[in-house]
Amino acid sequence: MTEDAAVAKQEVKEEKEADHHPYFRPKDAATLILIDRSGEKPKVLVGKRHDKVVFMPGKYVFPGGRVDTSDNRVPVAAPISKELEANLLKGSPKITPGRARALANAAIREACEETGLCLGRKVEKPGKLEGAWKPFADAGLLPDPSSLFLIARAITPPGRVRRFDTRFFTADASAIAHRVEGVVHADAELVELVWVEIGSQPLADAHAMTKNVLAELDRRLATGPLRHDAPVPFFHFYGGKMQKDVLGA
């Protein structure tokens, strides 16, 4: 059995369509995969979730979460690229350019909230950023989504209480402009952060969809620098089985 077939089989086993919950519309969400390419082999940043959280306790995950109302309104140091916007607008259900911007900003906000690592750029007057965006203003930054790439999109299968339509973004670790201390600790949502090679031991027990996305990222990295024109996979469920399409195909 090939690696792809094994991952797909595990995904179907773990995420078999359930019928014991009513239909819930997926909520837009974003995830950020930070890559450190300073060494011989690239490493990605993952965080270990607290053992007592409801969703994926004890698992190594990428920082991420649902889109917030502030994500579309926050000022940025530079906009997302036209190519990234085009990729985000592909697929169904259709979204607006404003929603595409919000998804990219959400990935940056969630990463800063959960890991303390903030992707931004120094500006003279960052303005009054409130709530989850305040750490950027405190550091004299505006969030900067211009270096993001879209790696994959995945929708949680029907029949689940929590359903998300998640866009998986990636950015180079060099885009980290500030670190908020004390975010990761023994009582936080993420209790540990580690930079690991794709396929290494800390990821052996990762969620099957996490492994799917990592496999896609590994293939992309093997071809050289990331490009916006590479195919973006779309994982979703139909008839109780996982489907893998290409956005815009």
Angle at 216 between CA 45 and CA 212, to 5 degrees: 80
pLDDT, tens digit (0-9, with 9 covering 90-100), for 92-138: 888 999 999 999 999 999 999 999 999 999 998 888 899 999 999 99
Mean pLDDT of 73-102: 95
pTM: 0.88
Mean pLDDT of 146-173: 92
What residues contact 63, with CB distance under 8 A and at least 6 apart?
A: 31, 32, 45, 47, 110, 111, 113, 114, 115, 190
pLDDT, tens digit (0-9, with 9 covering 90-100), for 179-237: 999 999 988 889 999 999 988 877 888 888 889 999 999 999 999 899 999 999 999 98
Question: In this predicted structure, what is the pLDDT of residue 3?
Answer: 35
The fourth-level CATH superfamily of domain 25-237 is Nucleoside Triphosphate Pyrophosphohydrolase (3.90.79.10)
Mean pLDDT of 156-172: 89
More confident residue, 104 or 2: 104
Question: In this predicted structure, what is the pLDDT of residue 21?
Answer: 54
Q: What are the residue boundaries of the structural domains of the chain, listed by start?
A: 25-237
More confident residue, 247 or 51: 247
